[in-house]
Structure 1
Amino acid sequence: MSTRSTVPPRDLTTSLPTGPVRAGRAAADEAAAVVAGAPADLFRRLLADQESEAALLTARQVLHGFLEETHAGDAAPTGADAEARPTSADAAPTGADAEAIAAYVLAARARIAPAVAALTRAEAGPEVRDAVLRQRAPLALLGACWLDTVSQAATQPAVIVNELFGHHFALTGEGTWDKGATARHRRALAEQGVHLPDVAAASFLDDAAARPLTALHGAFRLALSRLPASFLPEVVGVHYAVHALGVDDLLIGTEPVLPEEAVRELLASYLRLAADSPTGAEDVRRLLAAVRLVVRLEEEHTALLTELAAWHSGLSLDARVAAIVAKHAPLAGRQHRAVRLGDRRLSEWLDDEEMDLAAFMAEFRASRQMRASRDGGCRFLKAIKFGGPMFGIFDEREAATFTAWAEAIAAGEPADPHFPPNTAGDEAACRWARALGRARCADEVAEEGELIAEGAALGHRELLHRLVNHERFPGILPVARAHAEDRLADAELLFTHGAGGRLTDASWFDYTPDALMARVERIYWDKLVNPYRPLTEIPDRDEVIFGQSTFALGSLIDGTWAYRIGNVGRRHRPGDGMLFSIYADEMGRGDIAKNHITLINQVLASMDILLPHIRDEEFLDQRDLPDELYGFSLHQLSLALFPDSLYEEILGYNLGIEMFGLGEMRLHEIQKLRRHGLDIAYEEAHLSIDNFSAGHARQSADIIVAHLDAVRRDGGEDAVQRAWRRVWRGYASFAYFVEHALVKQALKDEAARPAAPARDAEVSERAPGDSVELVL
């Protein structure tokens, strides 16, 4: 019988359902405090924390602050916010016309380009150019971070999300980070003498000398990266406008990975979708607001860079030295207790948070350290040269500035006591800080205990709904964490009993790379491939459809376990690029026809099963998928929300699920589906892409070995064994949901065992598989 393929309706989503955001009071208070704090701390928190309720609420407040200010800007500002602000010379478009939007943005680019060109000219001077490039680096090196998690269970397989993910895949070098746009920008900066640590480094903003406005602009981009499903129209608007303006490529001198024509095509695609959407008018309004906001922000940041360049150019030699002193003073004081400057110890000067810089410079200029010696040098210059006690503290350019200053002093040039403060961008930063402070991070708040109790009492359907829509339900994160930890703990049962699995073997073994590969190969041959025999009897159609329905819920969130791996600031672990590439393959690399969520919907449609989207309220009432199998998907969704603290567990889970696509089970399903003329595309895709030769199954084992090799280099063998236990409990947690009969029998066996003596309590610290009882 020929295989019947029924194509399900395309997902034409242009925005996700909205609803009130209810959050914990403590988390809301924490978010408000972060937003009210220093812009640099806000930037760092949004970059570093992708696992907490407070971080999601912080992101929401930041986005509301920027966007509400943009909407308010449509009316005449009043009061303190009536200050001058960058305005476009061209009227912003008001309709869903891609060409009109492009004309507006490209007109802004034409205004910005000459100002950027002036900053890159040779006559600007190397110090000015260095300062400008450093100042722009926090934005350039965030890349298109708003695309990091735009592809997720709540958004796939929407047409526009697949197009966005295709762009994301290209911008990130197709999983090879060094080929991506951000890496290109970093290399170009390095070629021009600007060397900065990773964006996640604690010193990154300090080394970039980031102004408050730069940190706030970066915080907006990072906030959008945390809530892309909730702000999908804004993601499209920001994506088009940032790439069409191309400020980073103009300034740094790189070629764009995505030309304007490519992002305009995506913009036009979105507008066509919106034209047929019931929420289309509102979605277009939101997109246009985002475009206007980006134009304003990029004009604003170009003005900051211009102001910064003018400040640097206007500095006297004394003022340039003063700026260097101010930069190093916080870390220098305690190293100079024996040195005196005027009537004070140098350490007293430098430890003073309110140091009078003018008074210090006057004393420093007149000090014996700067007095010319017979050989034409001075004590200070000798101290900072090779062999001196201060060698390596100042970079080459700073040392050259000190040398020129010493020569000027020796030549008798008078001091310039004027040290103008650097206030570049501060007026705009104050406006944004006020706007963010006025915004709200949640519609209603409750006590944490109430939210946790409420979450713990949820049925599986409602819990799944909130986990999929976690951006709208930030209070579900503590519940998800507890759920993941409980399932991982449960799964350790298989460390002792796992050898009897039909498709897996989660029994404990001591890790070495060879031992892992040997175990994986045994599972592949002994449990997945060699047992295969073609079915001699095929179940009837209804039974086959029911069997497929038991897998379908997990398939509808295919790849979710890895969707948050490789976000900006997290591309340093050896396996991140490979794991991101695995996720990209699951999503068809942006090709919606190859997207595995599309394929499973296609299979279900061939069975006349048309489900509401898993994110929608209507899915709570679906009757085609059985209730008792929600646990597998709940565990996967919970794991996915903790890509940092449960990273090793995700690696192990990934190995389990990628091997599951091989061998007997898939081949039997293909045989049954084909017999009844049902679609086999999903099964065939996994049988091919997960192959053990070079596909996902092999890659998953390689990722674990690479990760543990890195752990060994950083922390030694003990650290490897701790990490390995976590990896293997991740694998066991997959097996726990696959091996129903084995788990049932193991629980019976454990219940029948006599209680372990109290003296064996220390067993929980020992490696499972030892001859002693395992405490479960």
Structure 2
Amino acid sequence: MRSLCRALLHGPADAETLRGASAFFESALAKAVGASTRPSFGNPWSPRVRPNPTEEAGRRTVLLALAPTLLLDGIGLARAAQPATAHRLAECQLFELYCRSVGLDEPATSAPLKFRAKLTLAGATLPPLDDPTFFHAPNIPDFAWTLPAVQLCLFHRPRSYFPELLGWTLAHGLREPDWWDDDDAAETGRCRALARAALEACTDRDEGRVHAGWSLYCLSFTELLQETAGQLARRLQAREAMASIVQAKRAHALGHHGRVLLAGRSLDDWLAQAGPEPLLDALRDSPYLDRTCAAESRLIRAMDFGGPMFGVFDAAERRVCLDWIEDESRSVDMAATGSAFIPRPNRVNQRPKSGPRSKRAFYTALLGAESTSDIPGQATEVVERTLRLTRLFMQLQRGYRRFFPYDEAAFHARIEAIYRHDIERYRPLTVPPRIGKDFCRWVILQLAPTILVDGCWLAGIATAAENLDTIDRHLLKIYADELGNGRPERNHPNVYRRLLDDLGIRLPPFASEAFAQDPRFLDAAFDIPVYLLAIGQHPRRYFPELLGLNLAIELSGLGAGYMRLIDLLRDHGIDPAIIQLHLSIDNLASGHAARARDAVMIYMDEMERKGGAEVSRQVWKRIWTGYLSLETTALKWALQIRWRSRS
């Protein structure tokens, strides 16, 4: 379960891993459905067992057992609003719940981050979620990983298990808060209302599967607390704790203790044995321990400053050693220690997956990709081909598109210059436009495949609250705005749908094959959206390029181009709401363009500090390549050719 959770959170989760996760989920679901008792559906509930120890060590034990679950709070909703589904009300509301969970607008309100603070205040030591040692920390019991595995399966399969996700979310929201939870009653009320609203918005839901999701959460959380209560009753003994520490460190201790003798054998010989038990037995009867005054033992003094093992054992591990010396049957608090043996993750060599070849087929396939293993194998080829072509023409760029060495002031000045230049090009429409209404209508049709997936290049950013840095939060905020922040009427693709309806343009559902194969579209109409969907599926692999691409997209929503287009549409009696929306929300003062610019600056500063000048130069070239790549696709040129041919 530990390794499964790590693979599902940090990935890439291959097809075999996801099949195993789905099999586990189905098994857990069947068990929950068959449970004899469960809380009444749709009502606030509390688990039957609610451990509430009064002593500090016991409370640490409870917090550590709950840590994987509560630090991943909301992760099952992170991908609820995917490019293919984000225009629907229920998905919008679930994504809004995710944004509230991670504290998108104000990190201090995030439930997982508040729980991390509780851990710290309780003296429970745990690595961060992005540290591989987190998943193998011995102070987190094995049973604590079952519920997080379910959460992470929902993270990868939000469409396949959407009814169950609705029931799970409602059960989570209606669980009565306890001492380990956030105590914000107002926020709890808002989240409960959103969970209920999402359920009501899904009018074609399978009630049986929704109830199964409810039961799954209730049973999983109840069992987690039951196991935790059992652990409190059988507190780990000092000898077991000491054995765990020795086992974790033995691989790196071998070779350093050839001269240290214990019962006539070198300590290296003792460490080379299969388990730590013989070594512990030998140590108990050795002169290295002083049972009358454990702190004066040679073993303990060796851990102090100046000793040969200084820095090998932390303070919590030193306390366990003292407990073991004084009385090996004494119960100890493993919540204080966090060392671990970390196995190397299995690396599975994956062959490139076969998939569609045409741009139209790629569009449908990419929209259908629910998780990493569903991505067509040639998706990276699409991205690489676009970036390769962009690099080829980079030296030919002129004016503000020309590459330049990065420094913060120069970059900031370039962005301001691009913005100012485009604003100053604007001239109000004073004569009847040469472009007729029919051509405008045709262009609006050709842009539909792109704008109906607006924001898709950022769809893969969402993750656990603790793993979202400042850059991720800028990007995630842009994505949330594109989706309407839980309000479908503000969802950018839905605004465009209203425009299409107003113009009488009827299209098949955009995620269907019929849409992609519609003969009214140019092939070039799928160049941009296929590139955006493909790079959005690989946000970490192409992160510098993604930052540059995002900057280009957000800046393109400002200036003369959009202002003239608004005038043109109004002159023809066409609602310019979608253009006006981007012109305002993409603003460079505090809108998307400002966030995109700041994300680049923060990232470049980070690369300079971590990698030095050479690394930052390479990264900057990748960012600018991403910036230029938006213009590499063929739609712009196809539209111009069509216009000139009609003139």
**TM-score, normalization by structure 2:** 0.88
Rounded Cα–Cα distance in structure 2 between residues aligned with 1:299 and 1:286? 20
* Residue 666 (1) aligns with residue 571 (2): no
For residues 527-566 of structure 1, what are the alpha-carbon distances to aligned partners after superposition, in whole Å with 9 as ceiling and x for unaligned? x212111232233321221122232321111111112114
For residues 175-229 of structure 1, what are the alpha-carbon distances to aligned partners after superposition, in whole Å with 9 as ceiling and x for unaligned? 4444422111111111111232221211112335333333343222112112213
User: What does residue 101 of structure 1 align with?
Assistant: 41
Rounded Cα–Cα distance in structure 2 between residues aligned with 1:545 and 1:492? 34
User: What does residue 112 of structure 2 align with?
Assistant: 182
User: What does residue 461 of structure 2 align with?
Assistant: 565
Q: In the comparison of the two structures, how many residue pairs are matched?
A: 624
User: What does residue 424 of structure 2 align with?
Assistant: 530
Contact persistence 1:588–1:596 (CA under 8 A): yes
The Cα of 1:392 is off from its aligned counterpart by 3.6
Rounded Cα–Cα distance in structure 2 between residues aligned with 1:635 and 1:375? 65
2:548 counterpart letter in structure 1: G
- Gapped runs of 5+ residues in structure 2? 336-349, 642-647
User: What does residue 394 of structure 2 align with?
Assistant: 495
User: What does residue 713 of structure 1 align with?
Assistant: 609
- Gapped runs of 5+ residues in structure 1? 1-38, 76-86, 93-99, 409-414, 423-446, 746-776
The Cα of 1:162 is off from its aligned counterpart by 1.3
1:156 counterpart letter in structure 2: A
Rounded Cα–Cα distance in structure 2 between residues aligned with 1:250 and 1:331? 42
Rounded Cα–Cα distance in structure 2 between residues aligned with 1:479 and 1:701? 30
User: What does residue 362 of structure 1 align with?
Assistant: 281
**TM-score, normalization by structure 1:** 0.74
Query: More deviation in 662-671 or 510-519?
Result: 510-519
The Cα of 1:701 is off from its aligned counterpart by 1.5
For residues 259-298 of structure 1, what are the alpha-carbon distances to aligned partners after superposition, in whole Å with 9 as ceiling and x for unaligned? 55444434443443444x3xx3xx2222221111112211
Q: How does 1:86-165 map to 2 (within 5 A)?
A: 87=35, 89-90=37-38, 100-103=40-43, 106-107=44-45, 109-112=46-49, 115-117=50-52, 120-122=53-55, 125-126=56-57, 128-165=58-95
Contact persistence 1:670–1:683 (CA under 8 A): yes
Rounded Cα–Cα distance in structure 1 between residues aligned with 2:553 and 2:394? 18
The Cα of 1:631 is off from its aligned counterpart by 0.2
Query: Among residues 571, 574, 592, which one is paired with 1:696 in the alignment?
Result: 592
Rounded Cα–Cα distance in structure 1 between residues aligned with 2:456 and 2:330? 60
Rounded Cα–Cα distance in structure 1 between residues aligned with 2:116 and 2:32? 35
* Residue 348 (1) aligns with residue 285 (2): no
CA 1:575–1:594 in 2, change beyond 3 Å: closer, same or farther? Answer: same
Q: How does 1:582-601 map to 2 (within 5 A)?
A: 582-601=478-497
User: What does residue 2 of structure 2 align with?
Assistant: 40
User: What does residue 510 of structure 1 align with?
Assistant: 405
For residues 559-582 of structure 1, what are the alpha-carbon distances to aligned partners after superposition, in whole Å with 9 as ceiling and x for unaligned? 111121141277354411111111
For residues 577-627 of structure 1, what are the alpha-carbon distances to aligned partners after superposition, in whole Å with 9 as ceiling and x for unaligned? 111111112122212222212211122222122433322344234455443
For residues 468-517 of structure 1, what are the alpha-carbon distances to aligned partners after superposition, in whole Å with 9 as ceiling and x for unaligned? 111289454321011111111111233122226xxxx4322222222222
Rounded Cα–Cα distance in structure 2 between residues aligned with 1:629 and 1:469? 19
**SS of residue matched to 2:112:** helix
2:428 counterpart letter in structure 1: P
Query: More deviation in 62-71 or 584-593?
Result: 62-71
The Cα of 1:650 is off from its aligned counterpart by 0.4
**SS of residue matched to 2:509:** coil
Query: More deviation in 569-578 or 165-174?
Result: 569-578
Contact persistence 2:113–2:465 (CA under 8 A): no
The Cα of 1:740 is off from its aligned counterpart by 4.4
User: What does residue 20 of structure 2 align with?
Assistant: 61
Contact persistence 2:365–2:376 (CA under 8 A): no
CA 1:320–1:696 in 2, change beyond 3 Å: closer, same or farther? Answer: closer
Rounded Cα–Cα distance in structure 1 between residues aligned with 2:511 and 2:131? 36
The Cα of 1:159 is off from its aligned counterpart by 0.5
Rounded Cα–Cα distance in structure 2 between residues aligned with 1:600 and 1:390? 66
Contact persistence 1:60–1:223 (CA under 8 A): no
CA 1:643–1:245 in 2, change beyond 3 Å: closer, same or farther? Answer: same
Contact persistence 2:102–2:112 (CA under 8 A): yes
**SS of residue matched to 2:567:** helix
* Residue 213 (1) aligns with residue 139 (2): no
**SS of residue matched to 1:677:** coil
CA 1:728–1:744 in 2, change beyond 3 Å: closer, same or farther? Answer: farther
Contact persistence 2:111–2:182 (CA under 8 A): no
Q: How does 1:176-325 map to 2 (within 5 A)?
A: 176-207=106-137, 209-245=139-175, 250=178, 252-255=180-183, 261-275=189-203, 277=204, 280=205, 283-312=206-235, 315=237, 317-325=238-246
CA 1:682–1:558 in 2, change beyond 3 Å: closer, same or farther? Answer: same
CA 1:188–1:553 in 2, change beyond 3 Å: closer, same or farther? Answer: same
For residues 626-677 of structure 1, what are the alpha-carbon distances to aligned partners after superposition, in whole Å with 9 as ceiling and x for unaligned? 4322101100001001011101110000010000101111112211222232
Rounded Cα–Cα distance in structure 2 between residues aligned with 1:208 and 1:180? 26
| Cα RMSD, aligned residues only | 3.2
CA 1:705–1:46 in 2, change beyond 3 Å: closer, same or farther? Answer: same
